[in-house]
Amino acid sequence: MIAKSVLNSFKAIVGDNDYWDQPSDLVLYSFDSSVEDPVLPDLVVRPETTEEVAAICRLCSEHDIPLITRGSGTNLAGSTIPVAGGCIILMTRMNRILEINTDDMYAVVQPGVITAEFAEAVQQAGLFYPPDPGSQKMSTIGGNIAENAGGLRGLKYGVTKDYVMGATFCDMAGNIVKAGGKTVKLCTGFNLTGLLSQSEGQLGVITECILKLVPPSKAHKAMLVSFDDMIDAGNTVSGIIRSHVLPATMELMDNFTIRTVHEATGADMPIDATALLLLEVDGHPAVVEEEYAIVQRICAENNGKITVAETAAERESLWEGRRKALSSLARLRPTLVLEDVTVPRTKIPDFLKALDEIKTRHDLVIGTFGHAGDGNLHPTILCDKRDEAEMERVHAAVADMFAAALEMGGTCSGEHGIGLAKQSFMVDEVGQGTINYMKSIKAGVDPKNLLNPHKQAL
């Protein structure tokens, strides 16, 4: 129970309109996009300035109140669920793009800026911000950094952490900390920017971000390649990369997903194919043609049938089919458990084989699609959270998936983060020594463990 006087101090910082402590409001911040159980916070505040954030941090610290940073609340690992109660600090009002510098190719934004809106603004300015997580239309940049969000362009362009040049954040002592900066090279002190990426709000509250921008590619060519055999698809992926071609995107869909998308949307898809790759090469027009020739050869060697998108409309409909994968699957059953297990990309055929066995062993419906180019797959389990027996099988299957991935040198999370959902798997993956080291860092900057506690095994 937080004393009334303390609650009033929070209200004094942000004002009446950005403060909530009644059950009907608290319940709205008890959940995120994960399937983890909701937990009520004690209060919700929505600051508008770095100074207000620092004041909130100090107040929480003074009264031992857990502080959980939340953007759009779209993460898939329970990272924003206030498991120990406390204060939700909502960053949605800090949503201004402060600068897009086309000469030095960086942007300064507040953490509540919506990813897709930022990418659009950058494009208008003639540059390119590549990270495109599936939730980009609603996710915030701050959340993307805290979760190190990925997307379809990981192989060639990297993920969010590769675009964070710097950030301003507040710690629990109320310090305003500057990490990184606007220069390409920067060697001042610890690489705090790196530490902040995928910290899941456990090391500070980000209030400003400096992001790297790149020139957009001049040309692109998108194609759909269908296969009768999953091994051929896997070999095509590794063959292309072995030939030193880095497609901007290289997406895989299994037969179940292909059929589901076709049935749900009527999209023109090769429904008899065992697997398909959606692939796009980009860059200078000459390079695009040269790389396309290589891709053509490798697909032919691996029995892949290529259909090239000749017009902008065809390209759009090709990617529309991929974008509709998750939603088409989602309509089949009430609950959807979306995993993001990742293996070295050459292991994709092995992993898909293991996945088939897991599916049969636990009697579950699983559709698989994902980012084949970077080994990041999205096995999507379709179930009903009200069916306890089925959910037990789901949990067992997830555990088996991660065990299989670990054996192949992979990871339990490529882009969704650990949060509450994958804590035990993370310990298996990195070992207790790593957890101990992370704990030491955390204890140093947040001795009372108030910043988003009980996440990532901390």
Partner 1 sequence: MNQNNLSQCIADLKALEEMLIQCSRCGTCQSVCPLYKKDLNESTVARGKIFLIEALAQGKLERADEIYEYLDYCILCGRCKTNCPSGVATDEIFLKSKAIIRQVKKLPLWQKTILKTAMGNPQLLAALSPLFHIGLRLGNKKIDDGIFKAGALLSPMLGDMADRHIADMPSKALTKLYGGFNQAKDEKQRVIFYPGCATTLIYVHWGIAMIETLLHYGVSVYVPETNNCCGIPSATMGELELYREQVGKNFDYFDSIEDADTILMCCPTCEYGLGSLAEKETGRQKNKRVMDIVVFMAEVLNVQLEHKIELTGSSSLHVPCHYNGAKAPILQKFIANNFITDFKPLKNQSCCGFGGTFSLKNYPHTRELGKKKATEIKERGFSQLFTACPGCAMNLTDANLTAGNYLKATHPVVEIYEKRIKPQRN
Residues that bind partner 1 (CB under 8 A): 22-25, 27-29, 31-33, 38, 46, 72-74, 92-93, 95, 112, 114, 116, 135, 137-138, 326-327, 330-331, 334-336, 384-386
| Residues 407, 427: Cα–Cα separation, whole Å | 14
Residue 14: CB minimum distance to partner 1, A: 13
Find, among 414, 444, 441, 439, the residue nearest to 429 by Cα. Answer: 414
Nearer Cβ to partner 1 (137/448): 137
CB of 92 to partner 1, least distance (A): 4
Distance CA 44, CA 88 (A): 5
Are 143 and 191 in contact by the 8 Å Cβ rule? The answer is: no
Q: Which is nearer to partner 1, 139 or 235 (CB)?
A: 139
Question: Are 22 and 62 a contacting pair, CB within 8 Å?
Answer: no
With respect to partner 1, which residue has the nearer C-beta, 323 or 393? Answer: 323
CB nearer to partner 1: pick between 86 and 239: 86
Residues 6 or more apart from 260 whose CB is under 8 A from it?
A: 325, 328, 329, 332, 367
Q: Minimum CB separation from partner 1 for residue 82, in Å?
A: 14
**Shortest distance (Å) from residue 398 CB to partner 1:** 17
Min. distance of Cβ 335 from partner 1 in angstroms? Answer: 7
Say whether 343 sits in a helix, a strand or coil.
coil
Q: Minimum distance from CB of 36 to partner 1 (Å)? A: 11
To partner 1, the closest distance from the beta carbon of 369 in angstroms equals 14
Burial 347-379 (b: 16+ CB within 10 A, else e): bbbbbbebbeebbeebebebbbbbbbbbbbbbb
Q: What are the tokens at 175?
A: 């310090």
> Which is nearer to partner 1, 91 or 225 (by Cβ)?
91
Q: Is the Cβ of residue 220 or residue 259 nearer to partner 1 in the bound state?
A: 259
CB-nearer residue toward partner 1: 191 or 327: 327
3-state secondary structure of 329: helix
Give, in order, the Cα–Cα distances in Å from 77 to each of 7, 81, 92, 94, 422.
29, 9, 20, 24, 7
Give phi and psi for 413, each to the nearest 5: -145, 115
